[in-house]
């Protein structure tokens, strides 16, 4: 759906400017979403404040888009439907500020009143819902709450490929190395400093692990990683990455002495911020292709979620780690593994709230209603 401004509407001898909600596609007689557009027209008759009308239009656009996506009819919503819309769509998926949520609710209340008074509803509206506001002061003082917004940091597979295409290097060795750097963040959840820490990814250790899985005829292995605060954790290396490492070690890196996997052409260590630098350059190089993709997301049953277009320029290497953790939750559900245990083990998290943030975001993008209800119920207790 889309919002369109309509000018010079003749009404009782006066030119009005209003807003309409339209369905996607070529303009036709069925394009207009009638009920919200009629309400917006009555608002235009009563008020000349264009910004207020536009805000109402955007609120109704969001609401009716949600209804269409979830196959709901605005005339027959239950209290739970409205509650889910406020908490799941506005608060969690869109991360809308509380004052804007209040305005949004006010818009919907006005719309439902209009629906009854104009005869669009056969019974008086029962616009009821449960809405528990965030306690801002309490949150600011609670150090247990993770300080990140996953909605603007998740990198889907298609977007990753576009970013990877932005890796530009002066030699085939550097290009393959830097593509591997990004893959280690995305598929193993490594922090930028962990990629080049000389205690990690030692080629002597990796060659041993690769030989062992070759003998066992397997394709994955586990490696030790020195992380934040010198904590050591075990990280699973999936087949995709073990194959990339093997190709790199046996190929372009084979003539370099043993040491850190990710190193300069002469084998010397790289700066701890190297991974971040590689990602930033690739991100910048792929901007045009990425923004075009984000503006026209794929219409596929396999498509899960993509970030808002405006968030692209703010992505960092650490977003690869956020995405890994979110995807790891999905992996756990698909393989019967407890995400509350496996995710912190792989990530090195010490706070339950951090794991909860990933489980919650995964539930939102994969529409795991039972998980969202359980988390919401726990939050209200």
The tens digit of pLDDT for each residue in 349-367 reads 878 889 999 998 898 888 8
Confidence band of 17 (pLDDT split at 50, 70, 90): confident
Residue 131 is predicted with a pLDDT of: 66
Please state whether beta strands 221-226 and 2-11 pair in parallel, antiparallel, or not at all (unpaired): unpaired
**Greater model confidence, 125 or 31:** 31
Residue 227 CA to residue 186 CA, distance in Å, equals 16
Mean pLDDT throughout 61-71? 91
Mean pLDDT throughout 264-277? 97
Confidence band of 150 (pLDDT split at 50, 70, 90): confident
Confidence band of 162 (pLDDT split at 50, 70, 90): very high
Residue 349 is predicted with a pLDDT of: 85
Q: Which of 91-100, 206-215, 251-260 has the lowest mean pLDDT?
A: 91-100
Instruction: List, in order, residues 6 or more apart from 24 with CB less than 8 Å away.
Output: 1, 2
Structural fold of domain 172-284: hpI Integrase; Chain A (1.10.443)
Mean pLDDT throughout 124-142? 55
Confidence band of 136 (pLDDT split at 50, 70, 90): very low
- For residue 174, pLDDT over 70 is answered with yes
Residue 320 is predicted with a pLDDT of: 98
Confidence band of 135 (pLDDT split at 50, 70, 90): very low
Highest mean pLDDT among 5-14, 20-29, 309-318: 309-318
Residue 126 is predicted with a pLDDT of: 67
Residue 379 is predicted with a pLDDT of: 64
Residue 167 is predicted with a pLDDT of: 97
C-alpha dihedral, 55 to 56 to 62 to 67, nearest 10°: 180
Backbone angles phi, psi at 228, to 5 degrees: -60, 130
Mean pLDDT throughout 300-326? 88
**Greater model confidence, 361 or 130:** 361
Residue 164 CA to residue 179 CA, distance in Å, equals 6
Average pLDDT along the chain: 87
Mean pLDDT throughout 304-313? 86
**Are residues 40 and 60 in contact, defined by beta-carbon separation less than 8 angstroms?**
yes
**Per-domain residue ranges of the chain:** 2-134, 172-284, 289-380
- For residue 138, pLDDT over 50 is answered with no
* Count of C-beta atoms within a 10 Å radius of residue 342: 17
Confidence band of 347 (pLDDT split at 50, 70, 90): very high
Please state whether beta strands 14-22 and 232-237 pair in parallel, antiparallel, or not at all (unpaired): unpaired
Residue 32 CA to residue 3 CA, distance in Å, equals 10
Residue 139 is predicted with a pLDDT of: 39
- For residue 144, pLDDT over 80 is answered with no
Q: What is the separation of C-alpha 123 from the centre of its chain, rounded to a whole number of angstroms?
A: 39
Q: Which of 41-45, 96-100, 255-259, 335-339 has the lowest mean pLDDT?
A: 96-100
Residue 97 is predicted with a pLDDT of: 73
Q: What angle do CA 145, 150, 154 make, to 5 degrees?
A: 155
Please identify which residue in the block is written with the tokens 């109704």.
Answer: 60
Please give the CATH number for the structural domain made up of 2-134: 1.10.150
């Amino acid at each position: 759906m889309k919002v369109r401004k309509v000018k010079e509407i003749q009404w009782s001898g006066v030119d009005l400017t209003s807003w309409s909600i339209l369905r996607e596609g070529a303009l036709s007689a069925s394009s207009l979403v009638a009920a919200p557009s009629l309400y917006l027209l009555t608002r235009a008759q009563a008020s000349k404040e264009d910004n207020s009308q536009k805000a109402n239009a955007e609120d109704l656009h969001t609401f009716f888009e949600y209804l269409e996506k979830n196959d709901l009819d605005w005339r027959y919503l239950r209290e739970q439907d409205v509650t889910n819309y406020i908490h799941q769509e506005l608060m969690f998926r869109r991360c809308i500020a509380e004052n804007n949520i209040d305005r949004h609710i006010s818009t919907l209340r006005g719309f439902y009143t209009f629906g009854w008074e104009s005869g669009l509803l056969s019974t008086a509206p029962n616009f009821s819902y449960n809405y528990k506001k965030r306690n801002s002061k309490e949150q600011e003082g609670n150090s247990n709450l993770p300080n990140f917004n996953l909605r603007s940091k998740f990198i889907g597979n298609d977007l990753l490929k576009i970013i990877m295409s932005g890796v530009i290097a002066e030699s085939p060795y550097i290009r393959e190395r830097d593509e591997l750097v990004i893959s280690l963040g995305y598929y193993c959840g490594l922090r930028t400093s962990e990629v080049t820490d000389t205690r990690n990814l030692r080629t002597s250790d990796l060659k041993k692990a690769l030989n062992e899985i070759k003998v066992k005829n397997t394709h994955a292995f586990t490696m030790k990683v020195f992380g934040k605060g010198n904590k050591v954790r075990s990280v699973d290396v999936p087949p995709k990455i073990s194959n990339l490492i093997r190709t790199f070690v046996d190929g372009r890196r084979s003539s370099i002495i043993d040491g850190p996997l990710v190193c300069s052409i002469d084998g010397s260590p790289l700066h701890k911020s190297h991974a971040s630098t590689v990602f930033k350059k690739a991100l910048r190089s792929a901007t045009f292709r990425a923004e075009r993709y984000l503006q026209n997301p794929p219409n596929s049953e396999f498509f899960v979620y993509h970030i808002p277009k405006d968030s692209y320029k703010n992505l960092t290497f650490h977003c690869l780690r956020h995405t890994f953790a979110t995807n790891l939750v999905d992996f756990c559900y698909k393989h019967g593994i407890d995400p509350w245990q496996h995710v912190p083990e792989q990530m090195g998290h010490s706070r339950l709230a951090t794991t909860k943030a990933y489980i919650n975001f995964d539930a939102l993008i994969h529409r795991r209603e039972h998980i969202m209800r359980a988390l919401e119920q726990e939050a209200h207790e």
